[in-house]
Amino acid sequence: MFEVTETHRATDLNQLKGILSFYRSAGFKVALDDIGSGWSGLNLLQSLRPDYVKIDMELVRNVHTDEYKQNIVTNLIRIAKTNGIEVIAEGVEVEEEAQWLTDAKADYLQGYLYGKPEPVSITMSNEEKEKIEASLKPLDNAAKA
């Protein structure tokens, strides 16, 4: 998955679209991160047409008790679903938030409720490493071009 973070504003939207097109052609999905946290989220949504949107944790925090946040999140989910985009809610910390977001039809939930980030130790065979390296060759060649 290739994540576009709204807080790192692209200076050339056409260049970003070209980069995303390249990654999509290589099999990557595109996620728009932190939707709802900045000023241009809806503009980026319509311009980039991501496969996933990640709802910012500030909107998720205590959403089950805040009617104003509920209205915003409900409509972000509705917009995403109408456009065939899957929704990831970030920063879920308590069961009540999870239940509200599940009822609101968020597709995926992530946050400390499910586990804290931790280093991952990956053991793989040489064959698996070679397969990964071979799959990255087109990306490496394009970066050199």
Q: Please check whether residue 131 lies inside any domain of the structure.
A: no
Q: Please check whether residue 143 lies inside any domain of the structure.
A: no
Q: Please check whether residue 12 lies inside any domain of the structure.
A: yes
Whether 98 and 92 have beta carbons less than 8 Å apart is answered as yes
Q: Residue 93: name the closest of 76, 68, 116 by CA.
A: 116
How many structural domains compose the chain? 1
For residue 53, the cross-strand partners are: 32, 87
Predicted local distance difference test score (pLDDT) of residue 102: 98
SS3 53: strand
Model confidence over 60-107: pLDDT tens digits? 999 999 999 999 999 999 999 999 999 999 999 999 999 999 999 999
**Which CATH number covers residue 69?**
3.20.20.450
What is the sign of the dihedral through the CA atoms of 47, 52, 57 and 58? Answer: positive
Q: Please check whether residue 127 lies inside any domain of the structure.
A: no
Domain of residue 96 covers 2-117
